[in-house]
Amino acid sequence: MRADEGVPRSLTLKRLPHNTGIDTFMKTLLKVLLVLFLVVGLVLWVLATGKQPEPFVPGSESAARVQPGPLPVVKVERDYVDTSRPASANGDYPGADERRLETTLWYPNDRQSAPYPLLVYSHGFSSSRQEGESLAAYLASHGYIVIAPTFPLTHMRAPGGPRVQDVVNQPGDVTFLIDEVLAAADDPGSALYQQVDPERIGALGLSLGGLTSTLAAFHPQLRDPRITAALSIAGPTFVFTEAFYRHHPLPFLMLAGDIDAIVPWEDNAQPVPEQVPGGELVTLRGASHAGFADPAAMMRWLSNPDAVGCWIVQRSMGDSQEEPWYDLIGPPEMGINYSAEAALCTMDPLPEAMNPLRQQMLTRVVVGSFFDREFSRSAATREAADRYLQEVLADELLEASYVRATD
């Protein structure tokens, strides 16, 4: 008796003819996917490990200062909403009755050394708070609480498009966040309870964020008096006269690159020691503007990342470049120069720039030393940080120079 006897013919299993075309296609597809996987893996490996910066000299003070600090760091994402201030209409965006701030907070996970100074980091135009993540984490590991918002109307995906004029509202955002953090420091149910020192508050920012920090520190109407030290990384100052900084003098350092194509060094950084009482300027030779931001790490194979930075800024600003806005900052008697003109992306050709990763290493040691000098509770640490900025920095790192106001 055959095995299939008794089984209805309709249920008899039949071997399908072998389809060599499908087999060939599947084998080819698998080979292509394997090659793509290997290529992507190679690209990711090169991006992560290729073109690394020259390290600081082993055993030098700079090599010690650039290292992460000893404190473990907690990173928290949170949305804050300021219901007391509106977001302005912008293009096809009708505006809102509130200002919403997507925010990242970094703080040391060590209550033994608390309370810590508070630093507010402001991002640049058509950017976001993520641009300063590595710097914020570095500072937190050295004993700082750092809060960084993405501002409502100047970030890269702002409704209606990024609008530079809204910078005049950003000092209010800085004040609002300081209020929120200090309130959390008084709340027994908060992770920040008794962690923040209200007497040690600083502001820093990159590009338009540097302008935000400058306004929050010095502007007679927009300033927050709780801010006792400010640092601008390649921030615009061309619109200010000497009188602007004399309303409420405080420690101020400008960090900038001498081949900045977006915020030119000659118009914005160079005047600082002459205009700001006690003002300091650290210049990095061969440093671009975009090289200060974390995303520039992916552009380190370019001759100059400002080629990309200029494209982004000019595309984002559009016709708003021609709109006057200096009057939004204040009248001439406040020290606002209405006749000032911004030389945006006029450098041609762009010179070769330093590796952005090296530039960000330099940034960490300068920013960390400045705030250590202003906020450390140890007199020895303050003195060492001041000596490093004035004497050691330019001696050990040949790209850097330091100038301080004489008055």
Domains of the chain: 69-404 (3.40.50.1820)
Amino acid at residue number 259: I
At residue 170, φ and ψ (nearest 5 deg) are -75, -30
Integer CA distances (angstroms), 176 to 25, 133, 147, 154, 216, in order: 61, 21, 12, 17, 11
Structure tokens at 112: 């033994």
Evaluate whether 82 touches 98 at the Cβ level (below 8 Å). yes
Identify the pLDDT of residue 40: 65
Integer CA distances (angstroms), 356 to 107, 209, 289, 302, 359, in order: 26, 19, 10, 10, 5
CA 57 remoteness from chain centre = 26
**Whether the model pTM is above 0.85:** yes
Q: Where are the alpha helices (DSSP H) in 195-299?
A: 208-218, 242-245, 265-268, 272-275
Q: What is the DSSP letter of 258?
A: T
Identify the pLDDT of residue 7: 45
Identify the pLDDT of residue 28: 78
C-alpha dihedral over 189, 194, 195, 199, to 10 degrees? 140
Identify the pLDDT of residue 326: 86
3-state helix, strand, coil in the chain (%, to 5): 40, 20, 40
Identify the pLDDT of residue 11: 46
Strand, helix or coil at 102? strand
Q: What is the pLDDT along the chain (407 residues), one digit of tens a residue?
A: 454 455 445 444 455 455 666 777 777 777 777 777 666 665 555 555 578 999 999 999 999 999 999 999 999 999 999 999 999 999 899 999 999 999 999 999 999 999 999 999 999 999 999 999 999 999 999 999 999 999 999 999 999 999 999 999 999 999 999 999 999 999 999 999 999 999 999 999 999 999 999 999 999 999 999 999 999 999 999 999 999 999 999 999 999 999 999 999 999 999 999 999 999 999 999 999 999 999 999 999 999 999 999 999 999 987 666 667 888 999 999 999 998 887 889 999 999 999 999 999 999 999 999 999 999 999 999 999 999 999 999 999 999 999 999 86
Identify the pLDDT of residue 364: 98
For residues 271 and 324, give the distance between their C-alpha atoms in angstroms, rounded to a whole number: 23
Identify the pLDDT of residue 320: 61
Identify the pLDDT of residue 18: 56
N- to C-terminal Cα distance for the chain?
Answer: 113
What DSSP assignment string belongs to 281-339?
EEEETT--SGGGSGGGGGGTTSS-THHHHHHHHHHHHGGGGGS--HHHH--GGGTB-TT
